[in-house]
Amino acid sequence: METAPLLEALRIVKNYPGVLALDKVEFSLERGEIHALLGENGAGKSTLVKILTGAEQPDEGEVLIDGDVVDISTPRKAQENGVAVIHQDVSLGLVPQLSVGENIFLGREPKCWPARIDWVALYSQAEEFLQRLKFNPEFLREPVGSLSLGEQQVVAVAKALSLNAQIFIMDEPTASLNSHETEVLFNTMRALSGDGVGIVYISHRLEEVLSCAHRVTVLRDGRMVGTVAVGTGVGPEEERTVAAQQSQIVRMMVGHDLAEKHPRSQPTPGPPALGLETVSGAGGRFSDVTMTVHEGETVGIYGITGCGSRELARSLFGLEPIQSGEVTILGESKSIRSPRDAISAGIAFISDDRSRDGLIGGRSVRENITAPILKSLTALGVIRSQQEVAVSRKHVSDLNIRTPTIDQLVRHLSGGNQQKVVFAKWLSSQARVFLFNEPTRGIDVAAKAEIYRLINNLKSNGAAILIVSSELPEVLGVCDRVLVMRRGSIVMELDPRATETTQARVFDIASSG
């Protein structure tokens, strides 16, 4: 006798301008199952999640719950249909100053009289939910803000449970948890699945996924590559099976992407431009990093989420404190404690979040391009307009930025062109060292190619380029040298041109251990 799956997504298609995010993706979830969703950045995981939780609508396809087509066109409706989402940033839905019990029932507190909250009922029911999750109810009356992130996760889960959620979608929940908290979360998830709840678990971390999931579905470039059932037994026979499954999954994730898509020009390495000597960041996100980037070469740092590469890049631009170690720029030791220091040392920083990290959306293209060098375009404080216009126009045409005029507000440009304005800005500042943090995230395919071309241009002009990226094909295709970072340290350096440097191998190095 066949019962319908708890959740089924059929032939889901989703288009964004210029990008096919999901291409006839199929996904199913059974009752009591923990089903992991794996894939690289841009593979389509978050889009699928948004569709399942009502934040976005698919262009084609349908979603069924318990065999019936459902309308989950808004988050509210998704919630009413029993879908709950636990975000990576758990503090989104919790109120830190109120107690755990209050948070669980926030907005739906049981009442005594018309006005008085029935505390007894509230706390006893909250206790029940926590016990279902095998979580210690001693925190019931503590303010949520005093709990650790892992404990807050559990509260968020309890809250969703109290909303009669049957389908939990957990989006990278372990990203900010330590190993103990992760274990607590997994126990919670096992308790839930034992109760018949279905869990969709999205993650980067293969080993975690393998330790708790029943099935694993891999997405790549918007397509569903395959689904693998994961065994959880013990014994040598099982171990080999697990290892085999692991490599199978890795192969599915990274595929055989064409390196031709990301042409790499010949490096002409000159003297060292950026040198790090046992640099450690405050907060322990990365430690004892030693590396060099020469003029005219592109070095890539690859790692999975949380490896510390992002923090390293930010620290080199003065956005996060460096605790120890020495940084050398063009042969001189520099102390970089703020973006100003970095800019005057000749460093440029291009991040994954344009609007937050340096582009002023409400100002014009020309003002953005000249922002870091404005002082040099002034005489006695007065801006020399002609010069400014000339500089801006030159960069706009050099980089082929599509904008009606240089006075167009940057926020009206497309994503790719905005990124080009960022490039133009740094080019005008005549930086010699370029730090890229996920440079092509969220950019359509065509613009990506242009950005790689720009990077190669920079390289041939003698710039030293450091690219932090979690997109494997990009790193292997564009960089001359690849450093793999794992849990805050650089674990290996690889030559992307060597035949044994396959994507699978790099991924392996980055995630195991």
Partner 1 sequence: MGIIRGQRSTTRLASLWRAYGTELVLLGAIGGVLILFSRFAPGMLTSNNLVTILRQMSFIAIAALGTTFIIISGRIDLSIGSTITVASTTMALLVTRHGVPSGVALVLPLLIGMTVGMANGFLTTKARVTPVIATLGMLVALDGAAKLIVGGETINGLPKVVTYLGSSKLGPVPVSVFVMLLVWFGVEFTLRKTSFGRYCYHIGSNEQAALLNGIAVDRYVTWFFMVAGALSGLAALILVGRLRSANVNIGVGLELQAIAVVVIGGGSLFGGKGTATGTVLAVALMAVINSGMRLSSINVYWQTAVTGALIVVAVSIDAMRRRRDRS
Partner 2 sequence: MISGRSPKGDKRANQRAGALLQSLVRRGQLIWLMVAVAVVAMSLISPHFLTVENLFTNVLRQSAVIGIVSVGMTLVIATRGFDLSVGSNIALSSSIMALLLTESGATVLEGVLVALAIGAAIGLTNGVLVAKVRVPPFIATLGMLSIARGFALVFAGTTPVDLLPQSLLDLGRGKVGFLPIPVLLLAGTWLVAAYLLKHTRFGRYALAIGSNEEGARLSGIKVDSYKIAHYLVLGVLAAAAGVVLTGRLGAAQATMAVGLEFQAIAAVVVGGTSLFGGEAKLGGSVGGAILVGVLRNGLLLRSVDTNWINIIIGVAMVASVAFDGLRRFRRKGLS
Q: Which residues bind partner 2 (CB under 8 A)?
A: 91-98, 102, 106-109, 115-117, 119, 145
Q: Which is nearer to partner 1, 130 or 342 (CB)?
A: 342
| Exposure string over 162-172, b if 16+ CB within 10 A, otherwise e | bbebbbbbbbb
Q: How many residues bind partner 1 (CB under 8 A)?
A: 47
Q: How far is the CB of 341 from partner 1 (least distance, A)?
A: 9
Q: How far is the CB of 284 from partner 2 (least distance, A)?
A: 13
Q: Which is nearer to partner 1, 116 or 356 (CB)?
A: 356
The CA distances from residue 98 to 95, 344, 348, 450, in Å, are 6, 46, 43, 50
DSSP-derived secondary structure letter, 260: G
Q: Which is nearer to partner 2, 159 or 425 (CB)?
A: 159
CA distance 224 to 335: 48
Q: Position of tokens 């959740």?
A: 7
Q: Which is nearer to partner 1, 237 or 353 (CB)?
A: 353
Question: Looking at the DSSP assignment, which residues form a beta bridge with residue 292?
Answer: 275
> Residue 108: which of partner 1, partner 2, none does it interact with, CB under 5 to 8 A by kind?
partner 2
CA angle 125, 131, 132 (to 5 degrees): 95
> Residue 407: which of partner 1, partner 2, none does it interact with, CB under 5 to 8 A by kind?
partner 1
Q: How far is the CB of 488 from partner 2 (least distance, A)?
A: 18
> Residue 98: which of partner 1, partner 2, none does it interact with, CB under 5 to 8 A by kind?
partner 2
Q: Residue ranges of the alpha helices (H) in 298-411?
A: 309-316, 339-345, 365-369, 385-398
CA distance 478 to 148: 40
Token pair of 400 as six digits: 């082929």
Q: Name which of residues 334 to 353 contact partner 1 (CB under 8 A).
A: 338-340, 342-344, 349
Q: Which is nearer to partner 2, 109 or 398 (CB)?
A: 109
> Residue 263: which of partner 1, partner 2, none does it interact with, CB under 5 to 8 A by kind?
none
The CA distances from residue 200 to 66, 86, 152, 180, 340, in Å, are 15, 10, 19, 21, 44
The CA distances from residue 228 to 55, 63, 167, 290, 402, in Å, are 28, 21, 20, 39, 45
The CA distances from residue 65 to 5, 104, 199, in Å, are 7, 25, 13
> Residue 375: which of partner 2, partner 1, none does it interact with, CB under 5 to 8 A by kind?
partner 1
> Residue 109: which of partner 1, partner 2, none does it interact with, CB under 5 to 8 A by kind?
partner 2
Q: Which is nearer to partner 2, 18 or 283 (CB)?
A: 283
Q: How far is the CB of 230 from partner 2 (least distance, A)?
A: 33
Q: Name which of residues 351 to 390 contact partner 1 (CB under 8 A).
A: 355-363, 367, 371-372, 374-375, 377-378, 381-383, 385
Asked if residue 293 lies in contact with residue 433, where contact means CB atoms within 8 angstroms, the answer is yes
Q: How far is the CB of 385 from partner 1 (least distance, A)?
A: 7
CA distance 397 to 245: 51
Q: Name which of residues 401 to 460 contact partner 1 (CB under 8 A).
A: 401-402, 404-405, 407-408, 412-417, 425, 444, 446-447
DSSP-derived secondary structure letter, 364: B
Token pair of 77 as six digits: 């409706």
- Decide: is 234 part of the binding site for partner 1 (CB under 8 A): no
Report DSSP letters for 445-481, one per residue: HHHHHHHHHHHHHHHHTT-EEEEEES-HHHHHHH-SE
Q: Which is nearer to partner 2, 97 or 335 (CB)?
A: 97
> Residue 446: which of partner 1, partner 2, none does it interact with, CB under 5 to 8 A by kind?
partner 1
Q: Packing angle between helix 119-132 and helix 149-162, nearest 10 degrees?
A: 110
Q: Which is nearer to partner 2, 270 or 321 (CB)?
A: 321
- Decide: is 180 part of the binding site for partner 1 (CB under 8 A): no
Contact residues toward partner 1 (CB under 8 A) are 17-18, 317, 319, 338-340, 342-344, 349, 355-363, 367, 371-372, 374-375, 377-378, 381-383, 385, 401-402, 404-405, 407-408, 412-417, 425, 444, 446-447
